[in-house]
Amino acid sequence: MLKTFMIEKIEEEVCSDSTGKMTFHLVDENGGCRRVTGMTFLDKNGQPQGISSQSKRELPLIENLFSDRHKKVVDIEFDHFNKVYDRELDKTVNEIAYEKVLEMEKEKKLSYRIARFFKITPKEPASENPVHQATMQKAPEQSKSATPNSPE
């Protein structure tokens, strides 16, 4: 679904050293007026470098408006987003699939099959992660190895 928007006005507001707010005042192809707001990420000079939206549903719109903010008229294609986003649940296809995998893991009958195909691990700090600790211990050994062209 291709939609065309005309940007009437853009308001920018600085919230902190690293964040801001950008509001786009739009008119769609049917003449409907709309206002869309996103939180911006600012660089050290206070210039917006990226934007995010409170609502996942508005994310493709706000990202396209931000990247094409210098244009007066913006065409946005929503087909891809509509394929991976469920409006009723307000979730993406990946979020829904992940939740279903977690639900299936709780069921006794399927838990052994899921463990074979998916590796689901709880989040843990890097210092407690055994893989991270093993790599940290190997680092000094690697630094002792000879470089090419060195006599050893």
DSSP assignment of 70-113: T-SEEEEE-HHHHHHEETTTTEEHHHHHHHHHHHHHHSHHHHHH
- pLDDT computed for residue 11 by the predictor: 96
Predicted model pTM? 0.55
Residues 12 and 80 placed together within one structural domain of the fold: yes
Last residue of a domain, one of 38, 59, 87: 87
Residues 73 and 7 placed together within one structural domain of the fold: yes
Residues 112 and 60 placed together within one structural domain of the fold: no
Each residue's pLDDT tens digit, 32-45: 999 999 999 999 99
Last residue of a domain, one of 33, 59, 87: 87
Q: Which residues contact 39 (CB under 8 A, 6 or more apart)?
A: 15, 19, 20, 21, 51, 52, 53, 54
Q: What is the mean pLDDT of the chain?
A: 75
**Residue 46, pLDDT above cutoff 70:** yes
Residues 53 and 114 placed together within one structural domain of the fold: no
Domain assignment present for residue 145? The answer is no
How many independent structural domains does the chain possess?
2
Residue-number span of the structural domain to which 56 is assigned: 2-87
Residues 22 and 54 placed together within one structural domain of the fold: yes
